Amino acid sequence: MSEKYLIINAGSSSLKFSLYEVPEMKEIVNGYIEKIGNVDSFYTLKFNGKKLEKRKAIMDHTEAVRTMLEELLDNQFIVDVSEIKGIGHRVVHGGEFYSQSVVIDEEVLNNIKDLTKLVPLHHPGEIAGIESMKSIMPDVPQVAVFDTAFHQTMPRENYMYALPYSWYEENGVRKYGFHGTSHRYITEEMQKYFNKKDVNLIICHIGSGASISCIKDGECYDTSMGLTPLDGLIMGTRSGSIDSSIIEYICKERSLTVEEVTSILNKKSGLLGIAGQNDFRDLEALANKGDEKAQLAIKMLRNSIAKFIAQYYVELGGQVDALVFTAGIGENAITLRSDIIKSISSAMGIELDADANNNIARFKEIQSGVISTLSSKFKVMVIPTNEEYMILKDTFELSQQVKSKGQSKVLKK
C-alpha cells in the first residue's frame, strides 16, 4: 500500500517541499516558499499541471513549515498529518560526522547545530524545519541527507589545506565538498550504465552553483568545492577559487569589512560580477549580441571547468570511464559543452559528436546520452541529475528500517 513522504529543502530564505507517494515515487505536489523573513514573502504550489501562487508575510522557517502543512491539508493532499510516514531533509553540512544519510535523533540534531558555524546562512532554516516537524509529528522518522556525505571518502591528501594543522584539528578547516547528493546520483546511474561498481568518472555539476568531482573506483576521490560552497569553479554569483590575499587588499582599498567582502564573493561575483548576468541563458543571449564582458565571462567559465577536468583526468591516470555533464547549465548549454570538449579533446583523446550534443537538452526530445564519438578514448555524457529522488529514496529506506527494527540509524547499503 502507498504511503506519503515529505521532502524538505530549506534555504537561507526559502523552503522547498514535495509530497510523494511511495513506493511509486510519484510526486503529488511541490511547493516553493520564497523571501522568508520579508513582509512580501510568497509561495507557489504545483500539482496536476496546475500552478497556484499566494502572497503572505512569512517571518521565519517555523511559520513556513506551518504554512506548508496548512496548504497540504486545505488542498486535501493529506486529510491528516498522520498520513505522512517519513520526512527527508536536505542538510547542507554533515562535517566529518556523516558519510551517509541518517535518521535524526537528538545527537544528530546537536551535530547539525554545531556545524552551523560553517554554513551560517543555511543551517538555521534547516534546523527550524527539523524542530518544527518534530514538535508537530514527534513519532515520524526524520532523515537528514547531507550535501557533504558522499565526499567523505576523499583521501586526506586531497581534503587537507596547506594551513596550520591545528586549524583542521581544532577548527575543522578542510575540504568537505558539496552537491554530494547529485554526484552520488550520477555515480549510481553510471554504475548501472557500465554494469560495474568501480567506475572512474569526472562529474561536472554545472548549475547556478557548480562543482566537479573526481570519482575513483566508484567513490569520491576529489572535488572542487571546499570548506564552503564558495570554492572551486566560477559560478553564477560566486567567485570560485581566488588568491586569498585579495580579501585583505580589497578590504583596505575599498574600506570594506571581511563580512562585506565575503558577501560580495558569494553574491556579487562569478558570472554576475564579470558581466552583470548570473543566469546562463541571459548571459549567452548577451554574448550572442556581441557583449564583450558576457563573452569573457563564458570563456572564463569554460576554462575554469576545463582546468578541473584536466586535473581530475591526471588524478585518474587517464583511466576515465566517462566525463558527465549535469545540472541546469551542464544539461542544457549545448555550445558551452561543445567549447569545453573542444578545448580538452586533443589532450585527452576525445571527440565531440556534434549532432548528438545538439540533440540533448531538457527542452529537446532527448535529455540524456552520449555526446562523444565512438572513437573517443572515453565517453562524454549528459545525464540529468535528480537530488530529490536520492533524498526520497534514503528517507524511504531509513524510515522502513526504523519501522522494522526500531533502532537502525544509518542507511544499510
Nearest distance in Å: CB 229, ligand AMP = 12
Q: Is the peptide bond before 124 cis (omega within 30 degrees of 0)?
A: no
Distance CA 34, CA 68 (A): 12
Task: Please count the other Cβ atoms lying within 10 Å of the Cβ belonging to residue 101.
Answer: 26
What is the DSSP pairing of strand 3-10 with strand 84-91? parallel
Contact 275, 297 (CB under 8 A): yes
CB 381 within 8 A of CB 370: yes
Q: Does 279 contact ligand AMP by CB under 6 A?
A: yes
Q: Which of residues 123-142 bind ligand AMP (CB under 6 A)?
A: none
**Residue from the set 12, 62, 208, 343 that interacts with ligand AMP by CB under 6 A:** 208
Q: Does 211 bind ligand AMP (CB under 6 A)?
A: no
Cell numbers 581566488 correspond to 242
Q: Are strands 142-146 and 201-206 parallel, antiparallel or unpaired?
A: unpaired
363 lies in the binding site for ligand AMP (CB under 6 A): yes
Amino acid at 143: V
Stretch that binds ligand AMP, among 21-29, 36-44, 99-107, 326-334 (CB under 6 A): 326-334
Interacting residue with ligand AMP among 11, 125, 129, 207 (CB under 6 A): 207
* Residue (279 or 315) nearer to ligand AMP, CB: 279
* Among 100, 120, 124, 99, residue whose Cα is nearest residue 109: 124
User: Is residue 332 involved in binding ligand AMP (CB under 6 A)?
Assistant: yes
Q: Which stretch binds ligand AMP (CB under 6 A): 54-62, 93-101, 213-221, 277-285?
A: 277-285
Give dist(CA 235, CA 5) in Å, integer.
33
Identify whether 147 is a catalytic site residue. Answer: yes
Q: Is 412 left (phi over 0), alpha (psi -120 to 50) or beta?
A: beta
Q: Which of 74, 139, 147, 282 is catalytic?
A: 147
Q: Which residues between 214 and 243 bind ligand AMP (CB under 6 A)?
A: 236
The least distance separating ligand AMP from the CB of residue 297, rounded to whole angstroms, comes to 12
Q: Which is nearer to ligand AMP, 166 or 363 (CB)?
A: 363
Residue 359 carries which side chain, given as an amino acid letter?
N
Block residue for cell numbers 586533443: 346
Please report whether residue 358 would count as binding ligand AMP according to CB under 6 A. no
State the amino acid at position 31 in one-letter form: G
Q: List the grid coordinates of 238.
A: 560566486
364 binds ligand AMP (CB under 6 A): no
Q: Which of 141, 177, 232, 328 binds ligand AMP (CB under 6 A)?
A: 328
Minimum CB separation from ligand AMP for residue 283, in Å?
8
The footprint of ligand AMP on this chain (CB under 6 A) covers a number of residues equal to 13
Cβ pair 152, 181 in contact under 8 A:
no
From candidates 192, 268, 281, 377, binder to ligand AMP by CB under 6 A: 281
Rounded to whole angstroms, the Cα distance separating 247 from 256 reads 9
Beta carbon of residue 216, minimum distance to ligand AMP (angstroms, whole number): 25
As measured in angstroms, the least distance from the Cβ of 16 to ligand AMP is: 12
For ligand AMP, which residue has the nearest CB?
328
Q: Say how far apart CA 39 and CA 141 lie, in whole Å.
A: 33
The distance of closest approach from Cβ of residue 245 to ligand AMP in the complex, given in angstroms and rounded to an integer, is 29
Which positions lie near ligand AMP, rule CB under 6 A? 207-208, 236, 279-281, 327-329, 332-333, 361, 363
Give catalytic residues, as residue numbers: 147
